[in-house]
Amino acid sequence: MWRIATRLRLLILFAALAVLPYLLSYSQQEIAVLLVINVLLVCSYRLLTLTGEWSLGHVVMMGVGAYASALLTKRLGVPVPVSMLAGGLAAAAVAAILSVPLFRMKGFYFLIGSFAAGEIIRLIWKRFTDPFGGPKGLKRIDAFPNIDFGFLEIDFYEPVNYYFLALIVVSASLYVLHRIERSRIGLTFHAIHWQDRLAESVGVDNFRYRTLAFVIASFFAGIAGGLYGHYVGAVNPTRFGVDQMVYVLVWAIVGGTATLHGPILGVVVLTVINEIVLRGLGLDTVRPLIYGAILILSVLYLPDGLESLGPRLRARLRRRGRDPAAAGGRAA
C-alpha cells in the first residue's frame, strides 16, 4: 500500500530506533523510555486538535489510564498487559462522559472547560485517599511481568527492554492513529475543524464526531499512562498537573500539528535540547524559561512548526537548482 520510498524510510527509522538504546547511558535509556511514551501522549493529543478543539485535560486523561491500570493490578490482581488496555478504556469512558457537558462549548470555552474537568479529576484523586492514595498517589505499582522464553528471559525492569516494549505499543498505536486520520473519519474531523456548520448541514453530527475524537485521543493517552505507571512504579496527582499539560502544548506547537510527524519532531527535539543541552550545561532550573523562549521564537519565526522546515528547505533548494544565477547573487 505504501510507496517503496516510504517503506524504506520507515525501515531505516526502525533500525535506528533499535540501535539507539545501546548507544545511550543507563540514565539516558530511562529518558528514552519516557520520550517514547510522550510521543504517544502528544500524537494522541494531535488527533483531538484535528477537530479544531484544544483541550487542557489531556495529561489528566493519561493519569486516568495510569491510575486505572495501577489500581486494577494492585486491587484486583489483573495482569499488567490487560490492565493497561483497561486503563486506556477507562480514559476513553471518562472522556465519553465528559463530552456531554464539554462539547456544548467550542474553542476557548472548551479549552477552559476541559481544564476545569481535569482539575476536578485531580481533586478526586487528592481527596479520596481510598483508593487513589491522596496527594501522595499510588506507590509500588506492579511492574510489567517478565517474559520467559526458556532460552531467553526478558526483564522489564531493564530500561532497554521496557524501551522496546514501549516502542512496539507506541508504534502500533501510531499506526492506528494514522489509519483513522487517513480514513473518512479523519476527513470528517478536518471538515468539522474548518466549517462545522457546513459539515452539520450535510449530515455530520458534530457532537458525535467531536466526542469520537476526544474518546480516541483519551484512549491512547490512557495507554500512555499505563505504560508510564508500570514503568515508573508510582503515580501522583501532581505528575498529571497543568504544568505537564503545558509541555504537551509546547511540543505540539513547536513541532506543528499538520502532520503526524510534527508533534513527534517537537517532543524529540525539545527532549534532546532539555536532556543534553540544558542538563549538560547545568541549566536545569531555568528549563521553563528556555521552553518559553523556544515557544515564542517558534511561534514568531516558525508558525507552522518544525514539520514545515523540511518542505521549506526542499522548496528553497529547488529554486536554487533552477536558478543558479539568483542563488549566486544572493550568496554574494
Partner 1 sequence: MSGPGERPILEARGLIRRFGGLVAVDNFSFAVREGAIHGLIGPNGAGKTTTFNVISGFYAPNAGQVLYRGRNVSGRKTSALAAMGLVRTFQGSTLFQELSVLDNVRVGRHLTARAGFLARLLGADRPSERAADAKARETLAFFGLEELAGEPASNLSHGHQRMLGMAVALSAEPRVLLLDEPFTGMNPQETRRMMSLVRRIRDGGVTVMLVEHDMQAVMNLCDTITVMNFGALLVEGAPEEVQNDPAVIEAYLGAAADDGAGHAA
Stretch that binds partner 1, among 125-133, 185-193, 282-290, 301-309 (CB under 8 A): 185-193
- Name the maximum alpha-carbon separation found in the chain: 73
CB of 176 to partner 1, least distance (A): 7
How is 293-326 classified by DSSP, letter by letter? HHHHHHHHH-TT-GGGHHHHHHHHHHHHHH-HHH
Is the CB of 164 or the CB of 219 nearer to partner 1? 219
Alpha helices in the chain (DSSP H): 4-19, 26-49, 58-76, 80-102, 107-127, 129-132, 159-182, 184-194, 196-201, 206-232, 242-255, 261-272, 279-281, 287-301, 309-322, 324-331
Cross-strand partners of 235? 138
Is the CB of 6 or the CB of 183 nearer to partner 1? 183
CB of 206 to partner 1, least distance (A): 7
Cross-strand partners of 138? 235
Q: Among residue numbers 202 through 241, which ones bind partner 1 (CB under 8 A)?
A: 202-206
Residue 197 interacts with partner 1 (CB under 8 A)?
yes
Stretch that binds partner 1, among 4-12, 42-50, 188-196, 298-306 (CB under 8 A): 188-196
**Angstrom distances, CA of residue 221 to CA of 183, 236, 264:** 21, 16, 15
What's the N-to-C CA distance of the chain in angstroms? 46
Total residues binding partner 1 (CB under 8 A): 22
Binding partner 1 by CB under 8 A: which of 12, 123, 147, 198?
198
Is the CB of 51 or the CB of 188 nearer to partner 1? 188
CB of 199 to partner 1, least distance (A): 7
Is the CB of 238 or the CB of 308 nearer to partner 1? 308
Q: Which residues bind partner 1 (CB under 8 A)?
A: 176, 179-180, 183-185, 187-188, 190-191, 194-195, 197-206
